[in-house]
Structure 1
Amino acid sequence: MAEQLATLRWAYRGLYLLLAAAIFFFKLLPISSLPLGIPGPDVMLCITLAWVMRRPDYLPAALIAAVYLLEDLLFMRPPGLWAFAVLLGSEFLRSRMALLREVSFAMEWIMVATVLVAMGLLNRLVLTLAMVPLVGLGPAVAQIGMTILAYPLVVALSGWAFGMRKPATGEVDALGRRL
């Protein structure tokens, strides 16, 4: 039983890496299906936060940090800044997992939206203090807004396609620890 649970964890971690690779590949392609001026949602961030909210044991902090550090390097952003913001946000949500297990999806969505806004503000604040040229405020706010709007779709797709669901109250793993 414990081996099956460990295999399942590694399978989801591998799936997360495959999804990250596919999303990075399509983001690097020089095409866009959106009208000019409208940034798309950060789907990888939605996946990360949705999976941390549902099964925090499937995504360790080191895996999240590695994926977002790679994303920083691929998209020529300041290395580690966005990775740090995402790690802070995901660990904040992970630490609130016991409280958020019983809340409605609307409350979860509000909590995730708040964390997304805080992550965006932290990123802009550090970039401003470092005097790095910034993207305009409008596109940055639009991307955060699109990411917030995409979160329910990603949650639904994760549940339907990958079986990612919140653990039930009192559900334990093979070692008897609460999930």
Structure 2
Amino acid sequence: MAVRLVWRYRAIFVALCAAVIFFAILPFDTGQGGVPGPDLIYCLMAAWILRRPDYLPVWLLLGVFLLADFLLMRPLGLWTLILILVSEYLRRRVDHAEALPFWSEVGLVSACIAGAFVVDYLALVLLLAKTPPLLGQGLHALATIVFYPAIAIFSQMIGVRRLAPGELDSLGTRA
């Protein structure tokens, strides 16, 4: 039963990410100078990793992030690498995050979001690639930070909760 539940949540994560990617590639004309939207896949990943890291193995994240890079026409693999590194950092912080109140969790994830966007921008600059406007990147990071609490609450509502004290994850270990 526990294995089915894990696979069900993995399928839900992939379906949610597919919906986000689908709506991101729709040809909505926002005109020039619009406020960039949040990176909802990043928010979902962070919320789920901090609650149940066993639901999102690295291979699943790698596939979803690479598909998003392909379809959203980002530099192939750069954002994926950054998000994998952030996910592993958050995965290592799960034991420490249990004691964190919700707003401290939001602060931790906000710092990771800001760091990821800075690293992405600096990597593009160092590689002499075409970089998006710095203000646009800052607004994109800010929108992602603002949307994280809503995504974390949504994740709680669909059943992605932290383990209770003494409870074991699907791998038989304490997350």
Given the alignment of the two structures, is residue 166 of structure 1 paired with residue 162 of structure 2, yes or no?
Answer: yes
Whole-Å separation in 1 of the counterparts to 2:173 and 2:153: 27
How far is the alpha carbon of 1:170 from its aligned partner?
2.1
* Contact residue 89 and residue 115 of structure 1 kept, 8 A: yes
What are the superposed Cα offsets for residues 49-94 of structure 1, whole Å, 9 maximum, x if unpaired?
Answer: 1000110000001111111111111111111100000000011000
How far is the alpha carbon of 1:35 from its aligned partner?
9.2
How far is the alpha carbon of 1:177 from its aligned partner?
2.0
* Contact residue 24 and residue 72 of structure 2 kept, 8 A: no
TM-score by length of 1: 0.92
Q: CA-atom RMSD, angstroms?
A: 1.7
TM superposition outliers: structure 1 runs of 4+ over 4 Å: 32-36
Unaligned runs of 5+ in 2: none
How far is the alpha carbon of 1:33 from its aligned partner?
6.9
Whole-Å separation in 1 of the counterparts to 2:59 and 2:15: 16
> Aligned residue pairs: how many?
175
TM-score by length of 2: 0.94
Q: Aligned residue for 2:65?
A: 68
Unaligned runs of 5+ in 1: none
Whole-Å separation in 2 of the counterparts to 1:139 and 1:81: 18
Identity across the alignment (%): 37
Counterpart among 91, 96, 100 of residue 99 in structure 1: 96
Whole-Å separation in 2 of the counterparts to 1:55 and 1:29: 31
Paired letter, 1:168: A
How far is the alpha carbon of 1:36 from its aligned partner?
4.5
